[in-house]
Chain A
Amino acid sequence: MVITVEQLNKTFEVPERDPGLKAAFSSLFNRKTRSVEAVADVNFSVAKGEIVGFLGPNGAGKTTTLKMLSGLLHPTSGRVEVLGHVPNKREREYLSRMTLVMGNRNQLQWDLPALDSFELTRAIYRLQEGAFLEQRDELIELLDLADLVNKPVRQLSLGERMKAEIANSLLHRPAVLFLDEPTLGLDVTMQRRIRGFLADYNARHGASIMLTSHYMADIEALCHRVIVIHEGQLLFDGALSALSQRFAAQKTIVVTLAEPADLGAYGEVVDESPTTVTLRVSRDDTAAVTGRLLAEQPVSDLTVVDPPIDDVIESVFEAGA
């Protein structure tokens, strides 16, 4: 396994004070803190070449976990091992083989073309010229950066800057990528391009990727496996398709009729046109309802679909809350 996490915990001590002058004065002598459990007994592992979606609402503990995996945070307890290293020891060999990309953070020099920052990255990671140029040119090609790398970074759009940031983060060809909202704030076209690039990078180099994103399209396009975390606790770890099976209590049946009919008796009608009716039915009843529809109604077409993944995720969080 490339990443192993066992019984991982992180608790923060947060200062706390009541409002008002009296509380302000008493806090001088009696400082109160509150323990906040950001990550609680989390276990998972990630294999070489795997892309794992890391899902959860804001404050669920995703970024805290990624920070522990990248060595930015010490766990309160538990074991973390990535590429055979304990991340919080921050050994040079480990830092040279991983990358952490945070959608809202900037490593590029603002006033200079990205190519100048790439040279600095080369120096920091001690890359030999041949390997550096090969990787740089490959990234420029894959991310379609040729016309952008000579412009000062400040003149690039958010999406262009993010592509250049990603290229800069991968010049040392990391074996493990931690990506925290890499498509944050980007338009749909740019999101799609970055997704395509990540899939390609994973296929070419066998890198393991852990990805957080609020855009389910990122997760659906890249991740066969998802880990869902809520209030610091792991709620689900498995195939994306299994997420629906486990958490979606209902399915959707879209029925096309040869002539109009009232299907209210078969389930909850969520959408209706003269000849097309969309029904929501209990997952357990789906087979029986489908059989009855086909037997009793003038059905010309029928499709059973899982609910949208966004709805499933929402129900997961509701279940976990």
Chain B
Amino acid sequence: MTATTYESGARAFVRLYSALFRLAIIEQFQYRAANYFYMIGMVTEPIIYLVVWSTVAEARGGDVGGLTPGAFAAYYIVWTLVRNMNIVFTPFGWEQRIREGQLSGQLVRPLHPIHYDIGYFAGWKIVVIVLWIPLAIVLSLIFQPELDPTVIQAAAFFVAIWGAYLIRTLLLWMLGMVTFWTTRITAAFEVFFAAELLLSGRLVPMRLMPDWVQTVAGYLPFESTFGFPITALVGPVTNEELIRGLLTQALWIGIGVAGVSIMWRRAVRNYTAVSG
């Protein structure tokens, strides 16, 4: 019997994520038409926000809270990319994952399943970004955004969209893992998504929200996943605010990693104790 040889940690980690990226890219390019239609459907939401806020701005003499139609256009066009970066494994999918035995298949392999989700969905993002570029060009020609980021802003934006992706993955993993204890959790998911819609900057740029709402949002992770990455590119933003935003993202990633680790251990214990 030939002894099987194993690769070391760092090299194995790079190979794992490369393999997952590759799988996702090949698979999602096969569905490029479906991905495109999905993205076009998704653009409807920000276009409605954009048209409403541009109309309000023009009715108010050119701006709302300092945001002109061009600034709104920039905000909501960048929104389309950030929204796509926010798409991760949904909490609603956990029940199916458990019921259909996919989780059992993952548990007998020597890999924490979150790596599979992070790697696979990250690979999908590469496809999304490639498909998004022509869409962004068309939207820019129609809505004429005011967008003039510095190199530092562009670099911070690049880091921030991946930070947002990680935070949302970790948050929704924690939310989805509640399924290990009860399957009657759909209503709680909806409450979470409603809070996220209001407090992330998805519905309205956070600077247009009342002060008390902005204060509450400051204690929650949602803005780090949506409003901050958009503002990082669109501005107005100082370098200090960029650093603070990125540090806040790092903090939420740390909290997310700790939360997922603790919940996962208990969830697996519960799963292996009761599943038939």
Contacts and interface: CB of A to CB of B under 8 A. Distances in A.
A123 B18 contact: yes
A92 B272 contact: no
A92 B110 contact: yes
A259 B2 CA distance: 62
Nearest to A12: B276
Contact of A104 (B7, B101, B109): B101
Contacts of B26: 112, 116
A121 to B, nearest CB: 8
B275 A105 contact: no
B126 interface: no
B207 to A, nearest CB: 43
Interface string A102-125: 101111010110001101101111
A53 B47 CA distance: 63
Nearest to B115: A124
A301 B71 CA distance: 100
A70 B107 CA distance: 9
A71 B107 contact: yes
Question: Chain B's interface: helix, strand, loop or mixed, by majority?
Answer: helix
B15 A123 contact: yes
A173 B2 CA distance: 9
Interface in B259-276: 268-269, 272-276
Given A95-B109, A125-B110, A90 B268 contact: yes
Interface in A77-106: 88, 90, 92, 95-96, 98-100, 102, 104-106
A74 B276 CA distance: 11
B4 A95 contact: no
Contacts of A102: 101, 104-105
B6 interface: yes
A206 interface: yes
Contacts of B273: 73-74
Interface in B100-125: 101, 104-105, 107-111
A123 B2 contact: no
A119 B16 CA distance: 9
Contacts of A71: 107-108, 272
B213 interface: no
Interface residues of B, number: 32
Interface string B238-272: 00000000000000000000000000000011001
A173 to B, nearest CB: 5
Contact of A109 (B16, B27, B107): B27
A135 B4 CA distance: 9
A92 B107 CA distance: 11
Given A96-B110, A122-B19, A127 B7 contact: yes
A72 B103 CA distance: 10
B110 A95 contact: yes
B276 A126 contact: no
B12 interface: yes
For B26, B107, B108, B268, the residue with the greatest tally of chain A CB atoms inside 10 Å of its CB is B108
Interface in B146-181: none
Given A72-B275, A74-B269, A98-B108, 17 more contacts: A12-B274, A64-B276, A72-B107, A74-B272, A95-B108, A104-B101, A105-B101, A112-B27, A116-B26, A117-B23, A119-B22, A122-B15, A123-B20, A125-B109, A128-B5, A134-B2, A173-B1
27 contacts: A13-B274, A38-B276, A64-B276, A72-B272, A72-B275, A74-B273, A88-B272, A90-B107, A90-B268, A92-B110, A98-B108, A100-B108, A104-B101, A109-B27, A112-B26, A116-B22, A119-B22, A122-B15, A123-B20, A124-B110, A124-B111, A130-B5, A131-B2, A134-B2, A173-B1, A173-B2, A206-B1
Interface of B: 1-2, 4-7, 12, 15-16, 18-20, 22-23, 26-27, 30, 101, 104-105, 107-111, 268-269, 272-276
